Amino acid sequence: MTTRIGYIGLGNMGAPMALRLLDHIGSLSVLDTNPDAVTPFIEAGARPVSNAAELASVSDIVCVTVLDDAQVRDVVAGPDGLLSTAKPGTVIAVHSTISDTTALDLETQCASHGVEFVDAPVSGGAAGAKKAALAVMVGASDEAFEKIREPFRAFAALVVHAGPVGAGTRMKLARNLLHFVSFTAATEAQRLAEAAGIDITELGKVVRHTDSITGGAGSIMWRDNTSALEPDDSWFPIFSHVRALGEKDLALAMALGDRLDVDLPLATRALAGLGPGLGVGIGDIARTHSMEEQP
């Protein structure tokens, strides 16, 4: 039997994801509070429904991409929510970035109806969805993951089973922590460059170009834990080299900031934390800098 799929939330992210699903499976039931968002799906052959309860009654898997925790709770467990009609064995997959505690709470509510809850936030933005290039981080039981893995490939190039319910959200939060901390670091680098008379639009071109080659921060994320490395570990010389280069360049940037009177708090923190974070301990440059900072 063909798996019946429903989609709630046809906004900037949900619409391209749902379109990919419709193209992939040839049928889809859809729901959005904005009638204009539904129209192109009807024209493409999708089935519109009036509320979440109706959607659940005609779906084996329901994908949810709404704004926040409150909206997720409402469409899943509200008066006319999915659980009011979902049959046992139905999978409810939430792509919204919510709290992991919300995911666990909804898992419990869904389990009381024999329904599988899946937290499946995505990374890659609307552009990634349009290209079917998203990464999906899935928190689910093994059984539920097997049900959703193939349909998710309609809009994703990478589908990762992060662990049980809640794990997908925790992975997304860690990923976005890196994302927005790096944005903050980018603003710090722009302030330094601007103070030094550098065209920051040209700097942006350089950053995007080189990150597309090196992989940016992801290029160091190969280890399976964050504990300190033993000297005979194969990663030790590699990350020691990274530490040496990083400490040298951070110290030079901080010296430039001192001369230009530009405060660089993230650079200061990075100099102290780079080596320990890599698992190879603090390096000579960072150690010397720390001693110089002490009164």
Catalytically active residues are 172
Cα 166 to Cα 161: distance, rounded to the nearest angstrom: 11
Q: How long a stretch of residues is the chain?
A: 295
Cα 254 to Cα 210: distance, rounded to the nearest angstrom: 22
Helix 167-195 vs helix 100-111: angle between axes, to the nearest 10 degrees? Answer: 160
Alpha-carbon separation of residue 221 from 23, 171, 212, 218 (angstroms)? 34, 13, 16, 5
Task: Please check whether residue 130 is in contact with residue 141, taking contact to mean a CB–CB distance below 8 angstroms.
Answer: no
Cα 114 to Cα 94: distance, rounded to the nearest angstrom: 17
For the chain, the helix, strand and coil percentages under 3-state DSSP, each to the nearest 5: 55, 15, 30
For residue 232, what are its two tokens? 């005979």
Instruction: Report the C-alpha dihedral over residues 221, 225, 227, 233, rounded to 10 degrees.
Output: -70
